[in-house]
Amino acid sequence: MGGFYSSEKMTGLFAYESSDLDWCEDNYRHSEHIVEYFNTMSSLFFFVISPIMLYLLHPYARERNLAVHLVWIMMIFVGLFSAYFHMTLSFMGQMLDELSILWVLGLCYGLWFPRRLFPSFIKDRTTFSRLVMMITVVTTLCSFVKPTANAYLLNCFALHIIYSLGLEMRTCTDPKVLRLCWSAVGLWVLAISCWISDRFGCSFWQRLNFCYLHGIWHILIVMAVAYASTLIAYLDANYEIPYSLPSLHYWPNDNWVLGLPYIVLKGTTKTHKRF
Does 86 carry a binding-site annotation?
yes
Whether 218 has a binding-site annotation, put simply, is: yes
The answer on whether 214 is annotated among ligand-binding residues is yes
- Ligand-binding site membership of 205 (annotated): no
Does 69 carry a binding-site annotation? no
Tell me if 168 is assigned to a ligand binding site: no
- The Cα–Cα gap between 156 and 166 comes to 15
Residues making up the annotated binding site for Zn(2+) are: 86, 214, 218
Residues making up the annotated binding site are: 22-23, 25, 27, 36, 86, 214, 218
Residues making up the annotated binding site for Ca(2+) are: 22-23, 25, 27, 36
